Amino acid sequence: MTTHYQNPQWLNSISKQFEFFYLMKYLKPICLIFFLGLFSLVLVNQAEAATDFVSVIDPGNGAGADYTSLSAWEAAVQSDLMVATTKVFSWSIASGTIPDLGSVTGLFSGATASATHMTASTTDTGSAQILLTNINGTFQSGEQVYLTSTGASSTYAVLSDAGDSAIAVATCRTSDGSPDTTAVIIDGWTTSATNYIKIWTDPDEPYRHRGVWDESGYRLELNNDVILDLEEYARIDGLQIYKTGGTG
């Protein structure tokens, strides 16, 4: 004779609760790790959100040039790239050129700022941009930003986005083969791993050396110290540097 034994209801209930708590003992850390990882990924993606603000350095002062020396670019664009009141904007339409350090006002928003630099509207730089610092208020996409001293109808640019934190990029070239002969000191910025300085020659352009000295490419040539980088977050890539005299 076979005897079948069935657990009492209360014992089944305790068994299920034990199984649930035993399972949660191991699932909770796994779930926590998963959500922390997901949250960290979101934070990393947000931290890496920054837009290149590209200026063209050309000792030959060819079409699309912003500055004729790397030193002039450094002095003009030098700023606190980390602060929320510094942003780079794209612009679509302009009347005249807003000068470096010109005070600007948003036509609709009433926001104000200092225009660090307004790049030219050329196809080879990708887009026309303006870097604004000391922003007070919120500039709007589609609004006219005008030079405060001349009024809304004279010198202005129409923004095509709401702005973003900036990476300061100097794209170096030489349209006529002339060297850059002014010493460069990179100092006085506020930068980070996200908002940094990038000085380079574009590999897709003919102004970058191909592993050997090339006098048709961009180059820094000086008798004494050529370039001094005092900033932690600066990247220098593809430059030819020639020190013609001095010691050390």
212-225: b (≥16 Cβ within 10 Å) or e: eeeeebbbbbbeee
Q: Is residue 199 part of a domain?
A: yes
- Structural domain boundaries, residue 127: 83-164
pLDDT for 105 equals 98
Does 13 have pLDDT greater than 60?
no
Same domain for 244 and 227:
yes
Q: Is residue 76 part of a domain?
A: no
Q: Which of the residue ranges 33-37, 179-183, 215-219 would you say has the lowest mean pLDDT?
A: 33-37
Which one of 110, 132, 164 terminates a domain?
164
Q: Is residue 1 part of a domain?
A: no
- What Rg do the C-alpha atoms of the chain give, in angstroms? 28
Number of domains comprising the chain: 3
The model carries a pTM of 0.79
More confident position, 215 or 121 = 215
Same domain for 248 and 170:
yes
Rounded to whole angstroms, how far apart are CA atoms 148 and 155? 9
Same domain for 172 and 137:
no
Q: Is residue 77 part of a domain?
A: no
pLDDT for 244 equals 82
The pLDDT tens digits for 143-185 are 999 999 998 889 999 999 999 999 999 999 999 999 999 999 9
